[in-house]
Amino acid sequence: MIGPSDITVIGGGLVGASLALGFLRAGASVTLVDAGEDRFHASAGNFGLVWVQGKGATCPDYADLSLRSAKAWRRFAEALEDDGSTDAPLGYRNCGGVKIALGEAELNTMAANLERMHNQSGSAGNGMLLLDRDALRDRIPAVGPEAAGGTFCPHDGHADPLATLYALHRALRRAGVRVLRGKALRASVDEGARGFTIHTDTDSIACGRVVLAAGLGNPELCEPLGLRAHLRPQRGQIVVTERTARFMDPVCHTVRQTEDGTVMLGDSKEEVGFDTSTTPDVRRAILNRAVRCFPHLAKVRVMRSWGALRVMSPDGLPIYQTSDRHPGASLVTCHSGVTLAAAHAGEVASAILGDRLNDSYPAFSPARFEVAP
Ligand SMILES: Cc1cc2nc3c(=O)[nH]c(=O)nc-3n(C[C@H](O)[C@H](O)[C@H](O)COP(=O)(O)OP(=O)(O)OC[C@H]3O[C@@H](n4cnc5c(N)ncnc54)[C@H](O)[C@@H]3O)c2cc1C
């Protein structure tokens, strides 16, 4: 049995590692358990956007949380860089984000969506603008003739997700957090002691609180803790090119030029279960759209591609829950773990420690998926 800590976080992806950092900074002793190399690891296969626009089109609370997190990202990144937790910078840039409309029909749909979001309380403050053809060209001269306009949000940006994940883990280790490699098989409730024991394939860990942040591994762990994770995998394929001269300052939601000049293209949304393979048809579609947006990319070589699985709830919103039955147990999961990393390390970690998670985020309760009998 590994001695008690205040809190054990299960899952060391972007969500679990960000939360663990938040708990640590609040003075809690933390143990992090992670199953290690996992082919379903979304944090290592994502696109790297810190993205606000369009988020919460049907849920103002999500729009607001995404905006608060994006605004907190610079401080979050600087704190990791300043304390020496990373050799490489996190590459965070708040450069604004553009969604490019190819043709008038797409532009009309974007205009209608934007109007709906502006009419919806809570999201009007995200600063989104509709760009006509000329305004788009002013912001990104490299767009092709098919680009009819788009939308722009000044709060959008991007970061290197792998550098972020490594920096988080390094910060945790440097601060003495126990990071255990192992698969959590079960969490049991210590009724008398008002705590929990986490049983992994190698150890047992005692703790006062437990937080499930295991991505697609959450559903298996929920039941004994009185938590509910309605999740499914959704595949996204990403294509990466060779380095090329810088051609865009705002980032686009399907085209992102990284700090080193490579271009990431993506990303598909496919309901294929636990299958991370790449397919020629999807790759072709990704390349085709990218070249219609930026014709010069037709001459740039593709270097690699991969598939990764989103951690997706039925409505795409986060699920945050503290158990009614066992109030020391909580669940945190979302499909925008890069965007929300700063919030997870800040306000969400504080809400868990302050026993305010359910009250602070009622819109993210799993009760929304449960139909009354
Ligand atoms: C193609 C693609 C593009 C994306 N683009 C973006 C983007 O641009 N911006 C954005 O904000 N988000 C994006 N995302 C989403 C983002 O990557 C995820 O929201 C985030 O990585 C989820 O992190 P996580 O920690 O919940 O899950 P994961 O990264 O999957 O990590 C879960 C961890 O839990 C561990 N684990 C699982 N089961 C157990 C167990 N029983 N015991 C112990 N450990 C366990 C796993 O080993 C893993 O390390 C994208 C995702 C994909 C797939």
Identical topology for domains 2-49+162-227+315-369 and 97-156+232-312? no
What's the confidence (pLDDT) of residue 202? 87
Per-residue pLDDT at 38 exceeds 70: no
CA distance 242 to 296: 13
Segment holding 70, helix H or strand E: helix 60-82
**Chain segment 129-141, per-residue pLDDT in tens:** 999 999 999 999 9
234-277 pLDDT, tens digit each: 999 999 999 999 999 999 999 999 999 999 999 899 999 999 99
Q: Give CA–CA dist 100/135, Å, rounded.
A: 11
Instruction: Report the pLDDT value the prediction gives residue 40, as an integer from 0 to 100.
Output: 58
What distance in angstroms lies between residue 14's CA and the mean position of ligand 1's atoms?
A: 6
Mean pLDDT over all residues of the chain?
A: 93
Ligand 1 centroid distance, CA of 169 (Å): 14
Q: Is the dihedral of CA 65, 153, 43, 274 positive or negative?
A: positive
Higher local confidence (pLDDT), 289 or 184: 289
Element (H, E) at 370: none
Q: What is the mean pLDDT of the segment spanning 38-48?
A: 83
Q: Read off the pLDDT of residues 186-201 as tens digits, 9 standing for 90 and up.
A: 888 887 667 999 999 8
Query: The tokens 């026993």 sit on which residue?
Result: 355
CA pair distance 76, 91, nearest whole angstrom: 12
Q: Three-state SS for 98?
A: strand
For the domain bounded by 2-49+162-227+315-369, which CATH number is listed? 3.50.50.60
CA separation for the pair 215, 328 (Å, rounded): 19
The tally of CA atoms less than 13 A away on the side-chain side of residue 311 is 29
CA 285 – ligand 1 centroid, Å: 24
Whether pLDDT at 124 is above 60: no
DSSP label at 270? Answer: B
Alpha-carbon distance values, 153 to 16, 124, 224 (Å)? 28, 11, 42
- Probe residue for ligand 1, chosen from 8, 33, 38, 52 as the CB with the greatest number of ligand atoms within 8 Å: 38
**Rounded Cα–Cα distance for residues 136 and 134 (Å):** 5
Q: Which residues are 252's β-sheet partners?
A: 98
- Ligand 1 site, residue 309, Cβ cutoff 6 A: yes
From first CA to last CA, the distance across the chain in angstroms is 43
**Any ligand 1 atom below 6 A from CB of 41:** yes
239 Cβ below 6 A of ligand 1: no
Q: Domain coordinates of the chain in residue numbers?
A: 2-49+162-227+315-369, 97-156+232-312
Q: What is the mean pLDDT of residues 39-62?
A: 89
Longest dimension (CA), the chain: 69
**Cα–Cα distance for residue pair 231/219, rounded to 1 Å:** 7
Q: What is the pLDDT of residues 268-305, one digit of tens each?
A: 999 999 999 999 999 999 999 999 999 999 999 999 99
Euclidean distance between CA atoms 330 and 95, whole angstroms:
34
Phi, psi angle pair for 180, to nearest 5° = -105, 130
Tell me yes or no: is domain 97-156+232-312 CATH 3.40.50.740.
Answer: no
Q: How far from 189 is each of 10, 116, 186, 354, 367, CA to CA, in Å?
A: 15, 46, 10, 20, 22
Which H or E run includes 355? none
Q: In angstroms, what CA-CA distances link 138 with 20, 52, 54, 162, 256?
A: 42, 22, 22, 32, 18
- What's residue 22's pLDDT? 98
Considering only residues 120 and 101, tell me which one the structure prediction assigns the higher pLDDT: 101
